[in-house]
Amino acid sequence: MQENKDYTFIHHDEHPDAWAIRLENKYPETIIVFGEVAYDDKQEAITYDFQIVESPDKDLSVQDVELQQHVGDILSSVISVGLEEGFVQATDRETGETIT
């Protein structure tokens, strides 16, 4: 997944404190925002939630498994690039310490 090819960060008036993401290609013009993103020690996986802010497909739902996978791939890309470029920071929920 590549920014500005598969997805684009945009400002959305309904979510002024977060970047919304406009999906391209597979779900064109669908806009999502992420909620909590966390690492689950028991599952050894990243967990996340998101909501659909806008979509031309009125039947599209966060329950759609293909959409969940697609959004998960985008999240993985954002985290990878963010860690490389230094704009993503992980924080321990219990201690508040930054995880490197």
- pTM here is 0.81
Residue 12: pLDDT over 70: yes
pLDDT tier, 91 (very low <50, low <70, confident <90, very high otherwise): confident
Give the span between the Cα atoms of 79 and 73, in whole angstroms: 10
56-65 exposure pattern, b = at least 16 Cβ within 10 A, e = fewer: eeeeeeeeee
How far, CA to CA in Å, does 69 sit from each of 8, 11, 64, 74, 98? 17, 23, 9, 9, 28
Domain ranges of the chain: 7-99
- Scanning 1-100, the segments in alpha helix (DSSP H) are 65-85
